Amino acid sequence: MDRMIYVAMSGAKETLIAQASNSNNLANVNTPGFMEDLSQFRSMPVFGQGFPTRVYALDERPNINFDKGSLQSTGNPLDLAVKGDGYFAVQAADGSEAYTRRGDLKVDANGLVTNGEGLPFIGNGGPIALPPYERLEIAPDGTITILPEGATPSALAIIDRIKMVNPPMESLIKGKEGLLRLKEGGEADANASTELVSGMIESSNINVADALVNMIELSRKFEMQVKMMRTAEDMDKASAGIMNMS
C-alpha cells in the first residue's frame, strides 16, 4: 500500500512543479527574447539498503527550446535583434557575464546601456556607457556610433561595439533568472560573424496554444494522482476493517 501512496504522492508533487514551469512560460509570452523551458517526467528508483523496491516520479528540465522567436519591426533604433544564431552579452546581477537574445535597449541618466531587464550590455571593455548624444546608430556588427551633443553633423564618433557570442547550444545552460551561461563556466569569445538587426525586436518563442494544452494535461494528471491517493486510503481502511473482523 505504501508503494502506491508514495508513487501517487511524488507524482502529484512533481506535477505541481511542472505546472509552475509551464505557468512561467505563459507569463513570459510577451517577454522579448524569452526561451521556453522544457520539462519531462520519468520514474526514479529509491536506492537504499537492499534492492530498490520503491520508485518515485521526477519532473526535470532536460533543456530549453532554442527555437527563435519572430522578429517584430518597431522602428526604434534602440531595439535590436540577433540575426540568425547568437546572443547578446550582458552583465548579470551578480556581476558575471551572461547571454540573452533580449535586445530592447535603454540608455539611463548616466548613459549606461541596458536592456528591458535593466542588465547592462557588454562591449569591448565591459558595460557600455554613452556620453550625451544627439543621434545614435548601431551597425549590424554591433558598432555604436553617435553624434555628440553640440557637434557638427560630420563629427560622428565610434563609442563601442556590442559583444555578441555564438557558442554551441549544448554548451549553454539557463539559470533561474532566465539568462544563459556556459556550463563549464567562464566567458564565451566574441563572434565577429554574428550580426544584429536594428529597429526590430525578437518575441518569445512560446507557443501559447501548446502551453495552454499542456496546462490542462498537467491539471488532469494532478487530479489523477490525488484520486490514486484517495483510492489507496480507501483500500487501507478496507484492509484494516478486515483485520478487525478477525
- CA–CA dist 245, 236 (Å, integer): 14
What local confidence, expressed as pLDDT, does residue 245 receive?
62
State the distance between the two ends of the chain, measured CA to CA, in whole angstroms: 20
Whether 75 and 162 map to the same domain: the answer is yes
Residue 124 has pLDDT above 80, yes or no: yes
Q: Which ranges of the chain would DSSP assign to H, the alpha helix? A: 2-27, 208-245
Whether 77 and 124 map to the same domain: the answer is yes
Tell me what the mean pLDDT of segment 213-217 comes to. 94
Cell of residue 212, nine digits: 495552454
Print the domain residue range for 7.
Answer: 2-65+206-245
State pTM to two decimals: 0.83
Tell me what the mean pLDDT of segment 75-99 comes to. 94
Tell me what the mean pLDDT of segment 65-92 comes to. 94
Query: What are the tens digits of pLDDT across the range 135-181?
Result: 899 999 999 999 988 888 788 899 999 999 999 999 999 998 899 99
Cα distances from 227 to residues 5, 60, 177, 213, 220, in angstroms, run 10, 23, 35, 21, 11
pLDDT cut 90: percent of the chain above it:
62
Based on the structure, what is the number of domains in the chain?
Answer: 2
* Closest of 38, 16, 15 to residue 25, by C-alpha: 38
Tell me what the mean pLDDT of segment 209-236 comes to. 88
Whether 108 and 182 map to the same domain: the answer is yes
Mean confidence (pLDDT) of the chain: 89
What local confidence, expressed as pLDDT, does residue 243 receive?
73
Whether 111 and 188 map to the same domain: the answer is yes
